[in-house]
Amino acid sequence: MQIYYNTDAPKKPVNLSLNADLLRVSKDLGLNLSSLAEEAIAKAVRTRLAADWLSENADAIQTYNKRVEAQGVFSDGLRNF
């Protein structure tokens, strides 16, 4: 999996507003909120970057797919499946 940020960067304190009952339950369960928040934000970053990449490359992907549909791929005569 590709990392899109410096995982060794220092931690920085932030203020968050969370549902009070959700916060209580998570503390009762002993969950590490900082770790969970970081994981969720990292996932959101990956998702957004992937969507942005697909959007930025949509024309090239469409062009390639049309070419493959019309001409096939280089290995068409070599594959056994």
- 5-41 residue pLDDT tens: 999 999 999 999 999 999 999 999 999 999 999 999 9
pLDDT for residue 74: 82
CA 30 to chain centre: 27
Q: Is 74 helix (H, G, I), strand (E, B) or coil?
A: coil
| C-alpha to C-alpha distances, 5 to 16, 29, 42, nearest whole angstrom | 21, 29, 9
pLDDT > 70? residue 1: no
Q: Domain residue spans in the chain?
A: 1-75
Look up the pTM and report it: 0.75
